[in-house]
Amino acid sequence: MASLAQQFTGLRCSPLSTSRLSKPSILPKQNKMPGLLPIVSAAVISNAQTKERLKLKEIFEDAHERCRTAPMEGVSFTLDSFYNALEKYDFNSEIGTKVRGTVFNIDNNGALVDITAKSSAYLPLQEACIHKIKSVEEVGIVPGVREEFVIIGENEADDSLILSLKSIQYDLAWERCRQLQAEDVVVKGKVVGANKGGVVAVVEGLRGFVPFSQISTKSTAEDLLEKEIPLKFVEVDEEQSRLVLSNRKAMADNQAQLGIGSVVIGTVQSLKPYGAFIDIGGINGLLHVSQISHDRVSDIATVLQPGDTLKVMILSHDRERGRVSLSTKKLEPTPGDMIRNPTLVFEKAEEMAQTFRQRIAQAEAMARADMLRFQPESGLTLSSDGILGPLTSDLPVEGLDLSDVPPAEVTD
């Protein structure tokens, strides 16, 4: 290969202007020496070209040597920095991999997401939420939102990835159900379907099965459709996708808490000529028209309406027949308050119930004392609370019938 200097020797340079020559005053006069000027000019041009060529040669040789011996000298972005930058944007695009991305565009069918891959990824509408939605905006998927997604597929048409949020939410829902089962709590589930063996209810976004044998009421599947019922977890198996629930266990839990004389919050479900049915934690209780107020109620609709929330007292509970009798009359500070001032009845309910229970305890103590006179050998003694011993087999465990107990006297 010819040297750099040899390559430059063939270059032609344009004539230099007279400004680059020596001053005319030192040149001989043309009329005296007519052939001298061209010779001097050629000599000056030749020297200048040679110097420039030598200078360029030195520059190129120096650059070549630096590239050969120290190619990264003076460069702030090192090779390690380059590899680190590649690792930053390199991720596993296999199905099931979780990635973080930023939504930058949405449409009626889903959202485009930037996950720093070679192409954008897409979140379909049906994969945006565990619940059924009409647009991704309903669940807060808007441009600028950054979320963690899971890769569930690839679009062969443009090699873009398909993402899902629903898969992540399903994992969280199963974890939540396992936690609720461990805590043995009662949850509400909405009945959305049925088959010959039972009904399907949605709990925490998952579809669970409730066998007919685990439903406490005699209601048909059609009666339960679109209604919320109390449930407990029987089996939570994510691997087998089995979620079995029980309404009977949940109702038994609720019923165990329904002590006679206790006050509970209920919601009016429906009105009948003879009274109102009240939902008290998944159990339907009857508030008879005679137990609404001490004053006569000629039309229940003038006092109660479906959807009203009120506090009621448990009068009786027939566990075998699943019947619960309720009262608001026993909670009136003064007769007729349930008609004239139901808000006051709601506020004073616990206070009035406490007074009522004290009077019931006194009545039971008197009844035991009367029985003791006929059974002196029983050995019953009066407790510090004024109550004689345990209940005998002659009295029901849940106490006396409270229906005919007169109202409490209110003291100023």
Considering the domain boundaries, does residue 324 fall inside one?
yes
Predicted local confidence at residue 116, as pLDDT: 79
- Quick one: which H or E segment has residue 343? helix 342-347
CA 339 to chain centre: 42
Residues 330 and 314 in one domain: yes
Does 402 reside within a domain? Answer: no
92: tokens are 């596993």
Asked if residue 310 belongs to a domain, the reply is yes
Whether residues 240 and 272 share a domain: the answer is no
Torsion, CA 372, CA 378, CA 382, CA 383, rounded to 10? -140
Q: Which of 120, 146, 169 marks a domain boundary?
A: 169
Q: Are residues 314 and 268 in the same domain?
A: yes
Please report whether residue 290 resides in a domain: yes
* Per-residue pLDDT tens digits for 121-156: 999 999 999 988 999 999 999 999 999 999 999 887
Residue 234, phi then psi, degrees to nearest 5: -105, -45
pLDDT digits (tens, 9 = 90+) for 318-334: 766 667 889 999 899 99
Backbone angles phi, psi at 270, to 5 degrees: -160, 160
Same domain (yes/no): 277, 344:
yes
Contacts of 157 (CB under 8 A, 6+ apart): none
Output the tens digit of pLDDT for each of the chain's 412 residues: 444 444 444 444 444 444 444 444 444 444 444 444 555 555 666 677 788 888 888 888 888 788 778 776 766 666 677 666 656 655 567 888 888 999 999 999 999 999 877 677 999 999 999 988 999 999 999 999 999 999 999 887 777 899 999 999 999 999 999 999 999 888 999 999 988 889 999 999 999 999 988 887 767 888 888 888 889 999 999 999 999 999 888 877 766 666 778 888 888 988 999 999 988 866 778 999 999 999 999 899 999 999 888 999 888 877 666 678 899 998 999 999 999 999 999 988 888 888 887 887 787 788 777 766 655 555 555 454 444 455 444 444 444 444 544 444 444 4
Do 164 and 247 reside in the same domain of the chain? no
Q: What pLDDT is recorded for position 6?
A: 47
Q: Extract the tokens encoding 15.
A: 């004539």
Identify whether 42 is part of a domain. no
Which of 309, 327, 356 is a domain's end point? Answer: 356
Domain count, the chain: 3
Nearest to 285 by CA among 273, 299, 301, 268: 268
For residue 52, CA distances in Å to 41, 59, 66, 377 come to 17, 11, 21, 136
- Write down the pLDDT at residue 169: 92
Residue type, 365: A
Range of the structural domain that residue 298 is part of = 258-356
Antiparallel, parallel or unpaired: β 160-164 and 146-155: antiparallel
In a domain, 16, yes or no: no
Instruction: Specify if 37 maps to a domain.
Output: no
Residues paired with residue 279 on neighbouring β-strands, in sequence order: 267, 284
Closest alpha carbon to 135 in 145, 143, 125: 125
Same domain (yes/no): 340, 309: yes
Residues 326 and 351 in one domain: yes
| DSSP string across 72-133 | TTT-SS-HHHHHHHHHHT----STT-EEEEEEEEEETTEEEEE-SSSS-EEEEGGGS-SS--
* Of the residues 253, 282, 309, the one at which a domain ends: 253
Give the CATH number for residue 284: 2.40.50.140
**In terms of domains, do 248 and 228 share one?**
yes
Q: Quick check: is 406 in a domain? A: no
